[in-house]
Amino acid sequence: MRKNLNVIAAYSIMMVLILMVGIFQSWNIALSIFNLCLISAVMTMGANIQWGYAGLINFGIMGYTALGGLAAVLISVDPVQEAWRAGGFDILMSLWLIVVMVLVIRFVLKRFEKSKIRTYSIAAIIISGILLIRFSAEPGIEAIEAVDPAKTGFLGGFGLPIIFSWIVGALFAGGLAFIVGKVALGLRADYLAIATLLISEIVIAIIKHEDWLTRGVKNVIGLKRPAPYEVDLQTTDWFIKLVEKFNSGKLSIIENLADRQAALNQLVIEGSSVFVKLCYSGLFLVVVIILLILTQKALYSPWGRMMRAIRDNEEAANAMGKNVVKQHLLIFILGSAIVGIAGAMLVTQDGLFTPGSYRPMRYTFLIWVMVIVGGSGNNFGAILGGFVVWFLWIEAAPISLFLINFFTAGIPETNALKAHLIESVPYFRFLMMGLGLLFIMRYRPKGILPEKIEIK
């Protein structure tokens, strides 16, 4: 108990902070912060597995998040029959062509010795393959995008419950990580960082501009939900009764019956969105706890020890007969898959998929700040980092507004500098993140909750 005191203290403070938001601002805000904290926690766990366990740097988190979101769309949206009829065949043909191309390249790689001719012929196969695929897919893509472009214009998905997409998102992200890992993991740390960052940008570019897949920047809205809809809740008897019961004290003060009914209606509307958010919190909490148990088990298993050995001294681990390349690839896939789950969760919660919103600041660098601030190598630290940083990211604006008003209390409202500062309040969050990261890296380089390895 005693040695975990700092963990318990840190989490208690965090919970108190979120509760304070609930009491002083509103429960809706508090819960939406809490939900995104949970999603961030899943992302940081993924990044932490790669960076904290194995020392692999992955600046492509944005790409895997987006793939998770893509999975959410492909799983939950109903198939657009008309689009399938219009261009489904062409798309399937092109997919076949891609598979054939990969197989041919594999065959060439296996069959022939490494030589210049082989390299050039592979390049020729890839280029001609891409051109062939482009020409064969072109009519299909155009036909699909022409199907009611204001509403659909894409193939749609499988029409399954969106929860499944959390698994599929993990598979998508893991698949991409397999390809990226195969080609890029041999690079030096800072090259790997740049390569993964750029690959994630390529992924986003594809998702943004392939309209037949997920409507590109036209967004997909109104995804199915695993939780009830607010509108339905507001007309359900048991829910109204529940709200009435919770607020019986408040309601009984009001004498007038009509007023009481109006107040109740208001409470039901507020309560319904809180209830929906609570449903999400429950779902996300289950995911976080399952992942936490698994990652903790992994950390203290022989496998975890081996990963640390590889991280701390690659050559020695290699000499001991550990397959460093294979383990690196494995952990790269595992971490990315977890990030993929988080991406699917995020789209599930928002109910919409907006490829334009995937930006490296928010989905890559912020997650890294979370990992570093929380404590890399320590799962509790990573989760805490997700909570602390996301909380600050959201609450930075009110906090800095308060600080500006506090320090410029003597200056009149019309002062140009003060007005300018108040106008640029949203950007103080960047300042806070940057300074936070710099201070943590300087004075507590292992993070708030440093890695602690107990040998049992």
Q: Which of residues 191-230 bind another protein (CB under 8 A)?
A: 191, 193-195, 197-199, 201-202, 205-206, 208-209
Minimum distance of another protein from residue 442's CB (angstroms): 6
Q: Which of 107, 221, 424, 453 binds another protein (CB under 8 A)?
A: 424
Q: Could you say whether residue 402 binds another protein (CB under 8 A)?
A: no
Q: Could you say whether residue 372 binds another protein (CB under 8 A)?
A: yes
CA dist., res. 309 & res. 320, Å (int):
10
267 versus 440: smaller Cβ distance to another protein: 440
SS3 of the chain: helix, strand, coil, percent, to 5: 80, 0, 20
34 versus 365: smaller Cβ distance to another protein: 365
35 versus 214: smaller Cβ distance to another protein: 214
**Looking up tokens 């940008």, which residue turns up?**
201
Residue 429 one-letter amino acid = R
List Cβ neighbours of 252 (8 Å cut-off, separation of 6 or more): none
Which range in 8-16, 94-102, 161-169, 417-425 contacts another protein by CB under 8 A? 417-425
Q: Could you say whether residue 179 binds another protein (CB under 8 A)?
A: no
162 versus 192: smaller Cβ distance to another protein: 192
CA dist., res. 122 & res. 353, Å (int):
36
Q: Which of residues 430-449 bind another protein (CB under 8 A)?
A: 430-431, 433-435, 437-438, 441-442, 445
Minimum distance of another protein from residue 67's CB (angstroms): 16
Return the exposure string of 419-436: e unless at least 16 CB atoms fall within 10 Å of the residue's CB, then b.
eebeeebeebbeebbeeb
Convert residues 13-52 into a mask of x (bound to another protein by CB under 8 A) and - (unbound): ----------------------------------------
372 versus 383: smaller Cβ distance to another protein: 372
Q: Which of 23, 189, 258, 416 binds another protein (CB under 8 A)?
A: 189
126 versus 292: smaller Cβ distance to another protein: 126
20 versus 130: smaller Cβ distance to another protein: 130
Long-range contacts of 360-365 (CB under 8 A, 24+ apart): 360/59, 360/62, 360/197, 360/200, 360/201, 362/62, 363/61, 363/62, 363/65, 363/66, 364/59, 364/60, 364/61, 364/62, 364/197, 364/200, 365/59
Q: Which of 240, 369, 370, 384 binds another protein (CB under 8 A)?
A: 369
CA dist., res. 8 & res. 17, Å (int):
14
| Helix (H/G/I), strand (E/B), else coil: 247 | coil
Alpha carbon 212 to its chain centroid, in Å, reads 23
Using CB atoms within 10 Å of the CB of residue 170, give its burial: 0 to 12 exposed, 13 to 18 middle, 19+ buried: buried
Convert residues 139-168 into a mask of x (bound to another protein by CB under 8 A) and - (unbound): ------------------------------
* HSE-up of residue 150 (Cα within 13 Å, Cβ side): 0
* HSE-up of residue 10 (Cα within 13 Å, Cβ side): 21
Using CB atoms within 10 Å of the CB of residue 387, give its burial: 0 to 12 exposed, 13 to 18 middle, 19+ buried: buried
* HSE-up of residue 96 (Cα within 13 Å, Cβ side): 7
228 versus 436: smaller Cβ distance to another protein: 436
286 versus 431: smaller Cβ distance to another protein: 431
Which range in 166-174, 300-308, 313-321, 368-376 contacts another protein by CB under 8 A? 368-376
# residues near another protein by CB under 8 A: 41
For another protein, the binding residues (CB under 8 A) are 57, 183-184, 187-191, 193-195, 197-199, 201-202, 205-206, 208-209, 361, 365, 368-369, 372, 421, 423-424, 427-431, 433-435, 437-438, 441-442, 445
